[in-house]
Amino acid sequence: MPQFDPSTFSSQIFWLVVTFALLYWVVAKIAVPRIGEVLDQRARVIQEDLDRALALKGETDQAVQAYEKAMAAARDQAGDHMRAVTSEAKATADARTAELSAVVGKQVAEAEARIAKAKEDALASLRGIAADTAKDVVAKLAGLSPSQADLDAAVTAALKETK
Amino acid sequence: MAEEHIATGAEHGEAAHEQHGPMEQFTIKPLIPIQVGRLDLSYTNSALFMTFAIALSALLFWGATRARTMVPGRLQSTAELLYSFVQDMVVSNTGKEGMKYFPFIFTLFLFILFGNILGLMPYAFTFTSHIAVTAALAFFIFFAVTIIGFARHGLHFFSLFLPPGTPLWMAFILVPLEVFSYLIRPFSLSLRLFANMLAGHVLLKVLAGFVIALGFAFGWVPFLAVFGVTFLEIMVAFIQAYVFALLACIYLNDAIHLH
């Protein structure tokens, strides 16, 4: 087995030391600092980006909150305004209605008074006509001439009955 | 088999006889002979693949950290993935204090990972399949961890061998056991990687030999096996690199936090 030939050991170990030391120098002085720096820098950039994203998210949340608050205030204000306008309109309408109904009531009362008067007039003239007619009928049929008082009483009684 | 090995260039010319056994792939061949005193420090195929491994790692980092963009490209993603993977391993096993040793663990992981993966290429050499390499790494970790432990805790480091709350009479059994399991660490660590890589490559080679031996009629059976085992070996290459680095982290944790 060539592995157990001691005459090769010195050269193997010598070149092992030389090459290993060279590689160690490359790794320790060049590779590790450079790669480490890149990895650190990347980690730093990622952390910074994350921090910034977090800060921006906070700002966004605040903006959303402010927007919602403003929206709620506007909604309240709009509601108040609506209620005010509605009640004002209602008051105006009520006033107008009352005014109109007063006018109409007055007119109705006047008309009723007129009608009552016309009816009374009509009844008064009816009474006279009825009394005359009754006098004539009595005179023609019975040949009597009743007194005016009797005639009036009879007509009044008859009118009461017909009522 | 040791005779196959060629220590110098002069010998290389004479002893170039090729032996196509499953162990031949592990032969160390000098490419540039270097002799310092009595030490043979030749630049071999093993050293060549170590060079490939670190060159590929360096190339990956060069490509990955050239632009350094906020949104990574393919190469940068790969390097960042490896970095995060090893970083998680270090932090979860040794805590924040362990990050001081992160470059070492990262180097260890990459070196073994690239060594294992490159070794799976056809005609490649797997330097992690040599006990000398894995043992050197394991003993380095063992001594480094022990020194870190004593440096941080002084003599208090010995309390590692006696878990707190143990009855005193138990110490006579427990302390030798703990000391033994501590001392065995470099052996188990180096053997695990070495044996895994060795076994995998031998298996591949033997199965590939069957493909030729069985020819067109039945060769496809071991060929499918080679196909499957190759995927298994890619997985093993990754897992063994991970396990080696993970155990190094666990040993470091003992040195930093005791129990």
Q: Residue A154: its pLDDT value, please?
A: 81
* Whether B109 contacts B86, CB under 8 Å: yes
Q: How, if at all, do strands B30-32 and B35-36 pair?
A: unpaired
In the predicted model, is pLDDT for residue B7 greater than 50?
no
* Whether B161 contacts B178, CB under 8 Å: yes
**Which ranges of chain A have pLDDT less than 50?**
none
Domain boundary assignment for chain B: 45-257
List beta partners, residue B40. Answer: B35
In the predicted model, is pLDDT for residue B10 greater than 80?
no
**Chain-chain contact of A27 with B64 (C-beta, under 8 angstroms):** no
Closest CA in chain B for residue A39: B80
Q: Residue A136: its pLDDT value, please?
A: 85
Residues of A in contact with B86 (CB under 8 A): none
Cα A17 from chain centre: 89
Tokens 């060549």 label which residue? B48
User: Could you tell me which residue, B162 or A83, shows the higher pLDDT?
Assistant: A83
Tokens 């950290």 label which residue? B65
Token reading at A154 = 């009879």
Residue B32 has phi, psi (to 5 degrees) of -125, 105
Cβ neighbours around B144 below 10 Å, total: 16
Instruction: Outline where DSSP puts E strands in B6-130.
Output: 30-32, 35-36, 39-40, 43-44
In the predicted model, is pLDDT for residue B6 greater than 70?
no
Residues of B in contact with A45 (CB under 8 A): 70
Average pLDDT in the B218-223 region? Answer: 91
**Chain-chain contact of A26 with B80 (C-beta, under 8 angstroms):** no
Q: How, if at all, do strands B30-32 and B39-40 pair?
A: unpaired
Q: Residue A138: its pLDDT value, please?
A: 83
Per DSSP, the three-state class of B64 is helix
**Chains A & B: contacts with CB separation below 8 Å:** 147
Residue by residue, DSSP assigns A66-92 as HHHHHHHHHHHHHHHHHHHHHHHHHHH
Residue B17's pLDDT band, with cuts at 50, 70 and 90, is very low
In the predicted model, is pLDDT for residue B248 greater than 70?
yes
Average pLDDT in the B230-240 region? Answer: 96
Q: Could you read off the pLDDT of B127-161 as tens digits, one per residue? A: 999 999 999 999 999 999 999 999 999 988 888 88
Residue from A1, A12, A25, A48 whose CB has the most chain B CBs within 10 Å, to mutate:
A12
In the predicted model, is pLDDT for residue B258 greater than 50?
yes
Number of Cα atoms under 13 Å in the Cβ half of residue A133: 7
Task: Please tell me which of the candidates A3, A17, A27 has its beta carbon nearest to residue B107.
Answer: A27
List beta partners, residue B43. Answer: B32
Token reading at B23 = 């162990």
Cβ neighbours around A8 below 10 Å, total: 25
Rg (CA), chain B: 22
**Chain-chain contact of B65 with A9 (C-beta, under 8 angstroms):** no
Per DSSP, the three-state class of B124 is coil
Nearest by Cα to A10 from B45, B43, B25: B43
Cβ neighbours around A162 below 10 Å, total: 6
Q: Could you read off the pLDDT of B167-207 as tens digits, one per residue? A: 888 888 889 999 999 999 999 999 999 999 999 999 999 99
Q: Could you read off the pLDDT of A67-101 as tens digits, one per residue? A: 999 999 999 999 999 999 999 999 999 999 999 99
30-69 in chain B: CB under 8 A from chain A: 30, 34, 39-44, 46-47, 50-51, 53-54, 57-58, 61, 64-65, 68
Q: Residue B4: its pLDDT value, please?
A: 42
Q: Could you read off the pLDDT of B32-76 as tens digits, one per residue? A: 999 998 899 999 999 999 999 999 999 999 999 888 888 888 999
Q: Residue B12: its pLDDT value, please?
A: 41
Q: Residue A163: its pLDDT value, please?
A: 60
Q: Could you read off the pLDDT of B93-106 as tens digits, one per residue? A: 999 999 999 999 99
Tokens 């009629």 label which residue? B217
List beta partners, residue B36. Answer: B39
User: Could you tell me which residue, B3 or A155, shows the higher pLDDT?
Assistant: A155
Tokens 């800060």 label which residue? A55
Pairwise CA distance, residues A71 & A65, whole Å: 10
Q: Residue A127: its pLDDT value, please?
A: 78
